[in-house]
A = this chain, B = another copy of it.
């Protein structure tokens, strides 16, 4: 008997979860929930219903874990606590500054309902957080650095698209190799925002638009670009579509630290991701934590958790005995 998964929201992330479920024989897709007209939503898995979000409670006994695939700005702060009152839930809430508040909301709902909620699951927050935590606990006398990229930042791409004269745009965040080497050196350098990452922009301008003005508007944009060395390339809409339609991302968590009575030895712990699809990979992480949520609920646990609170073995389809004999 497999773990019955509901997908709540069917965009890039929801489609990624659907694909991942097919790779995990102990998970099965029960239904996809959408705020759109269900008749307008075509999913890939055969014979699985698409259900109007407002009817979700009719599925209360037919879903073991609901994976929320909405956005962090407005969807998840509302949806995750609301659904935690009826389902075990997993989300990828990624507004770092608001995690404590979101945690409290989901925790209250889940504790009252006796459900499990695991929030902020993905790679940052998520796997990168795990690695910052493990490395920091093991090498307390040290310093960590997170680098992002090379990858597409949706927020920065959108910011460029709002500039008059821009038809479409794609922005890549690129880590600076020299800064990564400095981070690995063990010398604990202070690295400024500008030193750590550059920003590369590919812009398709409207015909006749003033490219100099667009470039100036980009590189001087506060918060988004002004603190970075930013490069702007003007290309055709076709080239943008052909060469820049993927959603790759990734990054590095590097911690160095010293050990020994006189701090004589230096160590480097490095974790990196190179992802061809940011949403599909996030979906893979969500699916593994859905398995964990199901098991924790089966054990009678309830309340809100993050990746830091879940013992690794809960994520694996293998039994503890198999893991000890084959993988440890």
Contacts and interface: CB of A to CB of B under 8 A. Distances in A.
A260 interface: yes
B20 A327 contact: no
A317 B140 contact: yes
20 contacts: A15-B261, A19-B259, A23-B140, A100-B324, A127-B134, A133-B323, A134-B312, A137-B316, A137-B317, A138-B315, A139-B284, A259-B284, A265-B277, A266-B276, A270-B271, A270-B273, A306-B324, A308-B323, A308-B324, A309-B320
A18 interface: yes
A272 interface: yes
A217 interface: no
Interface of A: 15-16, 18-20, 22-24, 44, 96, 99-100, 103, 120, 125, 127, 129-134, 136-141, 184, 257, 259-261, 264-277, 280-281, 283-285, 288, 291, 306-313, 315-317, 320-321, 323-325, 327-328
B268 A281 contact: no
Contact of A328 (B120, B264, B281, B284): B120
A328 B129 contact: yes
A108 to B, nearest CB: 15
A313 B103 CA distance: 15
A218 B316 CA distance: 41
A312 B265 contact: no
Nearest to A45: B261
Contacts of A22: 261
A276 B272 contact: no
B311 A20 contact: no
A277 B259 contact: yes
Nearest to A126: B328
Contacts of A259: 16, 19-20, 23, 277, 280-281, 283-284
A275 to B, nearest CB: 5
A323 B323 CA distance: 28
A267 B260 contact: no
A315 B134 contact: yes
B281 A275 contact: no
Contact of A130 (B24, B275, B312): B312
A313 B137 CA distance: 9
